[in-house]
Structures are given as structure tokens and as C-alpha cells.
Structure 1
Amino acid sequence: MKTKTQNTASRRDFMKITTVVTAGVALTAASGAQAQSASVRYDIGLALLNSLGGNTSLATLAEISPDVAGLYVEHVFGDVMVRDTLDPVTKEAIVIASLMTAGNYTQLTNDHINAFLNLGCEPEALLEMCFIAIAVRGFPSAINTTGKIRNA
């Protein structure tokens, strides 16, 4: 498990990337320029993904389809997760809650649980999310995700 200092560093790295990307997007919008190229969005997305601790699902996906893996990095991280309206912890909590209720996304859920922990969050917060899911979605989803937390 990472130390508090390492968690703080991960959060700082994420915020630096978010700030740089936000400034770039604002500049692009202000100048009326075309949207960023796919390669720029891929680089931004990959930097953000790595700042969160990586993603083992991406390696598996890249083995099967490098094109789909590239689109995943470009869109999910280079377009969506890089936006600055919500803080990184809130974004990861939303992703985990979404995956928890959808079910059957074990590796992707584990990747986002690890990102959540890498941002300095405590496992107790994940268990609280499971508790809330019981009220909203029911015991099966919460029990399934609780086992994933233990294995993370």
C-alpha cells in the first residue's frame, strides 16, 4: 500500500495534468481551433491514466485490439476523466459506483478501486459505498464488490 506521501504525490500529478489539459482545452476553445488530435488526446489520457496507477485492463484490451485500447485511452481519459468540473476522487467514486451496479466488470472495477486508493482514499470509504449500494441496488452487487475490495 502506498504511503501518505506517495498518495499526495499521485494526487498532485493528477492535478498538474488536469490543470495543463484544462488550460490547453480553454486555449483551443478560445482560439476557435479544431479539437485536439487523437494522438494528443491519447498522450494526455495515458499520462492521466498512469498518474492514477495504470490500468491492467488496458494491457489485456491492447493485446486483443490496439485500436479499441487507443480509443479507450483517448476518450475515457483524454476527453472525459481529464475534465476539471469534479475532483479526481469524486470521479473515481462515480466510476466505481457505476461499475458496482452494472456488475461483472471485475478487472475494470479493481483498476478503479486501485486508482481511488492511489488518490489517498481509505478502504473504509469503499465499504461505505457498498453499504449505500445495498440500499440502492441490493445485496448481490454490494457483496460482489466487497470481495473485490478485499482482493485489491
Structure 2
Amino acid sequence: MADETRPGDGFLSRDDTGDERLARGKAQLARITGRSGEEVMAALADVAPDFARYIFEFGYGDIYSRPGLDLRTRLLATVAGLVCLGHAQRELEVHIGSALNCGASRQEVIETIMQMALYAGFPAALDALFVARKVFAAREEAGTPPAQG
């Protein structure tokens, strides 16, 4: 009998088509961000439509859909990685909001960013804290303040 999963993942079928991965990715993105992601596909339609599809299929359909870590943990790890990049403020803004959507508290986001000062440097952490402040303020203005953890 053939193994139905990829080595080590225990979740995704080798027979998943691109359409199945795309659908799973779109559903996962909506679960994480509260948005469909259609704006991403539309924004890239005239320049790199395949890239948008890769984001959904691989990023959200494969990686964010894997077992082993809950979405809260995955999003805090994503925030940490983006802080370390130091040049992805737009993505950091989206993923801080997504971390909050997936159960991370405001304090957990702040602590994750502060921890990255050791690895990414104080300027990167400081920039990220300003992005977090912007996300927190927007949520408060919209009537959805982040949890205080």
C-alpha cells in the first residue's frame, strides 16, 4: 500500500491538485486574516498572477495548514521572522493583526517583538513596535481592541 502523505507531515495528500491547495489556502487565509485574499490576487493579476497563487497554495494551503503548531504559535513565529527581516512593515502589519485574530494577546505580540531586538537589533524591533502600535490603535478605533495578555 502506497503512503498517502508526504514524509513527515502526516496531513497533505500527494494527490492534492493545485486547485485543492488553492482552495485550502484561501480558506486558511480567510480564517487567519478575516479576509478572502481576493484583493491580493487582484493586485497581482496584471503583473504576477502566478505569484499570488503560490502564496495561497504553498504559504497558506501547505505551510499554514500543517499540523504540529497551532495558528497562534505560527503567527507569533511569523511576526518574529518579519521583525528580523527589518524591511517588511506591510506584511508585519497584516501578520500582527492575524496573530491577534488567532488568539495571541497584545502583550504576546509586544514580547515577541522585544525578544527579536536580541537577534534583529533594536532598530528593527523599534520599527516593529511602531507597526504594532498602529495595528492596536486601528483595532481600538474599530471597536475590536486586542486582548491584554
Interval containing the TM-score (normalised by the shorter chain): 0.7 to 0.9
Secondary structure of 1:104's aligned partner: coil
Task: Report sequence identity in percent.
Answer: 24
TM-score by length of 1: 0.73
Tell me the distance in 1 between the aligned counterparts of 2:90 and 2:39.
Answer: 6
Aligned pairs for 1:42-61 (under 5 A) are 42-53=22-33, 54=35, 58-59=40-41, 60-61=43-44
Q: Indicate conservation of the 8 Å contact 2:79/2:113, yes or no.
A: no
Question: Is 1:83 aligned with 2:66?
Answer: yes
Question: Is 1:111 aligned with 2:94?
Answer: yes
From the two aligned structures, give the one with the greater helix fraction. 1
Runs of 4+ in 1 over 6 A off after TM superposition: none
1:138 paired residue among 104, 121, 136: 121
Letter paired with 1:67: D
Flag the structure with more relative contact order, 1 or 2, with Cα contacts below 8 A and sequence separation at least 6.
1
Tell me the distance in 1 between the aligned counterparts of 2:121 and 2:10.
Answer: 42
Provide the aligned length of Structure 1 versus Structure 2: 124
- What are structure 1's unaligned runs of at least 5 residues? 1-21, 29-33
Q: Indicate conservation of the 8 Å contact 1:103/1:141, yes or no.
A: yes
How far apart are 1:24 and its partner, in Å? 6.6
Letter paired with 2:127: N
How far apart are 1:58 and its partner, in Å? 2.5
CA RMSD, aligned part only?
2.2
Change (3 A) 1:36 1:69: same
